[in-house]
Every structure is written in C-alpha cells, then in structure tokens.
Amino acid sequence: MVGGNATMQYRNLGRSGLKVSQLSYGAWVSFGNQVDVKEAKALLQCCRDHGVNFFDNAEVYANGRAEEIMGQAFRDLGWKRSDLVVSTKIFWGGNGPNDKGLSRKHIVEGTKASLKRLGMEYVDVLYCHRPDTATPIEETVRAMNYVIDKGWAFYWGTSEWSAQQITEAWAAAERLDLVGPIVEQPEYNFLARHKVEVEYVPLYTNYGMGLTTWSPLASGVLTGKYNNGNIPPDSRLALDNYKNLASRSLIDDVFKKVDGLKPIAAALGVPLSQLAIAWCLTNPNVSSVITGATKESQITENMKALNVVPLLTPNVIDKIEAVIQSKPKRMDSYR
C-alpha cells in the first residue's frame, strides 16, 4: 500500500476456512437512508482499494433498499463474485405475521427475497439477526442448513444471541449431524464489552465461534464529535430514526471517558476514532470489525486504524483501561 499504509490482513472467520478482511464495511444506517447507488459505488470502491473484501447487510436495512443498492453497485463495478464476502441477516422482513422471526418459512422466503434484491445467487454468510424465542431452535437450525444445502449461503451465524442460545443451537446441530453457527455479530467497543470478553468465552474454544463486531465507535460517540452536546446535522445521530440512540448515548459519564481518551490518542499521534477501532482488533476472537461510513474520507480514516494496532502496547492498553474502566469482571477472577 502506498503512503506507508498498513496492508489489510485477512483472518479466518472463526474456525472456518473463510478469510475476511479484519476491517469490513456495513450498510447499516447509510445505504438507502443517506447513500444512493452512485455514492455507494464510490464508497465500496474506496473499501476495495484498502483491501476490504467483507461487506455486511440485512433484509431490514432501509426496508430492503440497502441490499438493492449494494447489489446494484457491485454489478456496476463489475467485480468478480469470488473476490467478495457478502453477508446479510434475516429476521425483520415485513409486516405480515410470517414476515419476521426465524421460522423455516421466513428463513427460506426471506433468504430468497434478499438474494433477489442483491441480485446474487448466494451470500457467503447468512445471520439470524436476533434470537427468536417463539420458534424452536431445532426448526431454525434445520432451516439454516436447508439454505446452505441449497447453495444460497455458505455459512450461517447469529447476531446478538446469548451464549446460552448459541450453545442450544450447537447442541441441536450436533444432535442432528448438521452445521452449527460459525460466527456471532455482537456490538463491541470501549463501552460494550461483557458479551465478547466474558459471556462468549466458552464458545470460542467449544465451537470455534468467530466474531464480526459492529459499532466500534459506539455510533460515533467515540469519535468525540458529540462532546459538549454537539450533534452534527449530517451525522447518524441526527437522523429521525436514531433519535432514541442519541438520547441514550449522550450521557455525561461517557463524555468524561471520551475526553480522558483524547490525550492517549494524541500521544500516539492518531485520531480517537482510529484508536477505538484498533483496540477492537487487538481482541484475538474478533475476525472482523464492521465499520460504517457515508464519505470516502471516513473510510480512508477508518482504514488507518490498521497502522495503530502495533502501537497498542500493554502499557497503552493499561492507560486506556484506567480511563474507560469498563473491563468486565471475569468469573474466574473471584477465586
């Protein structure tokens, strides 16, 4: 890479053979709400230029429009399908009683509808976007395996499931001699750590679960741009659908932590956003950190986080922990 940029590394998605870029790009919020096909093409091209091969979507994003935009952009760019790792997520597909959840009916119909919007024969990874307590786990496991057997997806995973639910899915898969979920997609950042660092720990060794984590910047809060109650008009916290996010996120204690992190980033000579993304990558169980951006300049800045990872020595990590004070207590630390 030119200009002293770190080269993108590719990590196995959990224990699978699938290689994903350690930084990836997600269509949540932006595609369909803030970005059309023309802009999407520029953003995706910028991602590819930086070595990104993994692109994340969901049937619910902009009510399906995000998948249409991404699929159209890929076609216009003329990229080879095998060079891309594309994921989507099934759960909220519409307003009808069978348009949501993880029934066999919705998984099969929802997947076919997603592929049609994307204009693709298959996705590489298909996620269950949330747990569905109204559907037996065995039904969901069988349906995800049906989708894989049909060649509509190569792997399946979960998003925002509990360790208990993932364990139950694996128990059903093993009992039925079927494929279990290989990846979970949780939120992970300085402020949200318990699931990744405590709750899921047995899953990494027991099932080889990988993680594709989202919201490394806590919806932009960790960039520092919202400090002093400032909400830029072009930011995602300014969008009507995300007003509840704003009220929840803008808490004084969080701002104090963000202010405390600024000197650490400054001492390394990097923006706070890059420090936050790089920190997520230091966790060996994270296969890929999903980033979001509405401007090419944001992508370029996010990708520079790769240069920051080697700077995060144990000493720097200790300084970060002293400020954020969010390290979850491991059960074994009570012994």
DSSP of 120-161: -S-EEEEEESS--TTS-HHHHHHHHHHHHHTTSEEEEEESS-
Mean local confidence (pLDDT), 20-48: 93
Please name the residue that has the structure tokens 């399906």. 64
Which long-range contacts does 296-299 make (Cβ < 8 Å, 24+ apart)? 296/42, 296/43, 296/46, 299/25, 299/43, 299/46, 299/47, 299/50
Which position has the higher pLDDT, 244 or 6? 6
Residue 335 has pLDDT above 80, yes or no: no
Residue 188 in domain: yes
Residue 56 lies in a domain: yes
Identify the pLDDT of residue 67.
98
H/E stretch holding 184 reads strand 183-184
Name the region of 228 (left: φ>0; alpha: ψ -120 to 50; beta: rest).
Answer: left
CATH number reported for the structural domain that contains residue 109 in this entry:
3.20.20.100
Question: Which residue among the candidates 10, 25, 61, 334 is catalytic per the annotation?
Answer: 61
Give me the pLDDT at residue 33, please.
83
Average pLDDT over residues 52-73: 97
The predicted structure's pLDDT at residue 83: 98
Catalytic (active site) residue 61:
yes
pTM for the structure as a whole: 0.91
Cα angle at 116 between 214 and 147, to 5 degrees? 70
Instruction: Identify whether 263 is part of a domain.
Output: no
Work out the pLDDT band at 233, boundaries 50, 70, 90.
low
Q: Please report whether residue 173 resides in a domain.
A: yes
| Per-residue pLDDT at 168 exceeds 50 | yes
φ/ψ of residue 194, rounded to 5: -60, -45
Q: Is residue 311 part of a domain?
A: no
pLDDT per position as a tens digit, 93-152: 999 999 999 999 999 999 999 999 999 999 999 999 999 999 999 999 999 999 999 999
> Taking the CA atoms of the chain, what radius of gyration do you get in angstroms?
19
Other Cβ atoms less than 10 A from the Cβ of 234: the count is 9
Helix axes 272-281 and 296-303, enclosed angle (nearest 10): 50
Mean pLDDT of all residues in the chain? 92
**Alpha-helix residue ranges (DSSP H) falling in the chain:** 37-49, 65-77, 104-118, 137-149, 163-175, 194, 201-207, 243-249, 252-268, 272-281, 296-303, 305-308, 314-324
pLDDT value of residue 30: 80
Strands 23-26 and 286-291: parallel
Q: Is residue 47 one of the residues assigned to a domain?
A: yes
Establish if 92 belongs to a structural domain. Answer: yes
Give domain status of residue 253, yes or no.
no
Tell me 233's DSSP state: T
Domain count, the chain: 1
- Which of 28-37, 153-162, 314-323 bottoms out in mean pLDDT, i.e. has the lowest? 28-37
What is the residue range of 163's domain? 8-218+283-294
Say what the pLDDT of residue 236 is: 53
Taking 70 as the threshold, does the pLDDT of residue 202 lie above it?
A: yes
